[in-house]
Amino acid sequence: MIIIKSIAEIEIMKECGQVTAGILKRLSGIIEPGITTREIDAYVEAEILKSKMIPAFKGYSGYPAATCVSVNEQIVHGIPSDRKIAGGDIVSIDVGCIYKGYYSDAARTYPAGVISEAAAKLIKATEESFFEGLKYCRVGSRLSDISSAVQARAEADGFSVVRDFVGHGIGRAMHEEPQIPNFGPPGRGPRLASGMVFAIEPMVNQGTYDIRVLEDNWTAVTLDGKLSAHYENTVAITDGEPEILTL
């Protein structure tokens, strides 16, 4: 069942989402060659706590940090460590907050120093695939219209969309119904209604969409070792334009 949120609930989620958005924006000036992924996580957690909110990821199903920091071929759920970011790396940050019992969830991929043209193209296509999907976040659209639009944009540049991880409903729980794949034909699934809130999150790979999970049981990497990028926002369906709560 997809839970419909009231205007008041969406306003709380927006407050939460704006803290997440602010952190992600400031990270663009912090993620540079030489910083460790643990230092990135420490910054994010401190910023969340300073805002009187709770890190949504820390302890979630046993996850040990406030932030998922995934580098290069790491797709998602990279555990912060003493690894130093190198020039030319791309760094995906996935983070969320809890405020008054409601969750936010968003992700961005950042360049560290000067990156390759191919890496920049991947980051751009991933972000644009989100915004293609956003066009269908309207009352009356079918859920899979979002999925199809994301896939079409990513594949237009020769990239692939990850199948093993999907977007999701969000509210009083991090993961609510429905699941929102980033692939598939349009015109399927429930029709969208005002008050639905989704975390839409394309994860796009340079090569194959196949993945493997490392021995830490968290970090997902591309099976062929090629780069992956991630872009996510929490989005509310309204009677008019969709509202991005984390931008």
Per-position DSSP letters for 113-178, written without gaps between them: SS--HHHHHHHHHHHHHHHHHHTT-STT-BHHHHHHHHHHHHHHTT-EE-SS--EEE-SSSSSEEE
pLDDT in tens, 112-142: 999 999 999 999 999 999 999 999 999 999 9
Does residue 239 lie in a domain region? yes
pLDDT at 6: 98
pLDDT at 97: 98
For residue 144, give every residue at least 6 positions away whose Cβ sits within 8 Å of its Cβ, in sequence order, or none. 181, 184, 185, 186, 187, 188, 189
* Domains held by the chain: number: 1
Would you say 108 and 130 are in contact if contact means Cβ atoms under 8 Å apart?
A: no
**What is the residue range of 99's domain?**
7-244
**For all residues of the chain together, what is the average pLDDT?**
98
pLDDT for the residue numbered 182: 98
Instruction: For residue 214, tell me if it sits in a domain.
Output: yes
1 within some domain: no
pLDDT band at 90 (very low <50, low <70, confident <90, very high): very high
pLDDT of residue 203: 98
Q: What does the pLDDT average to over 174-192?
A: 98
Which pLDDT score, from 0 to 100, does residue 178 have? 98
What was the pLDDT predicted at 34? 98
202-238: pLDDT as tens digits:
999 999 999 999 999 999 999 999 999 999 999 999 9
Query: Can you read off the two tokens belonging to residue 48?
Result: 């969340």
DSSP strands (E only) in the chain: 54-55, 68-71, 74-76, 90-95, 97-99, 102-103, 106-111, 160-161, 167-169, 176-180, 197-200, 203-205, 211-213, 220-222, 228-230, 233-236, 243-244
Give the model's pLDDT for residue 153.
98
What integer is the mean pLDDT of 25-50?
Answer: 98
Q: Is residue 130 part of a domain?
A: yes
Instruction: Say if 2 falls within a structural domain.
Output: no
How do residues 54-63 score in pLDDT, each as one tens digit? 999 999 999 9
Amino acid 41: pLDDT: 98
Predicted TM-score (pTM) of the model is 0.97
Q: Does any domain span residue 74?
A: yes
> How far does the chain reach from its first CA to its final CA, in angstroms?
27
CATH code assigned at 132:
3.90.230.10
Position 185 confidence tier, pLDDT thresholds 50, 70, 90: very high
Percentage of the chain modeled with pLDDT above 70: 100
**230 neighbors 199 (Cβ within 8 angstroms):** no
Please tell me the distance from the alpha carbon of residue 169 to that of residue 26, in angstroms, as a whole number.
Answer: 26
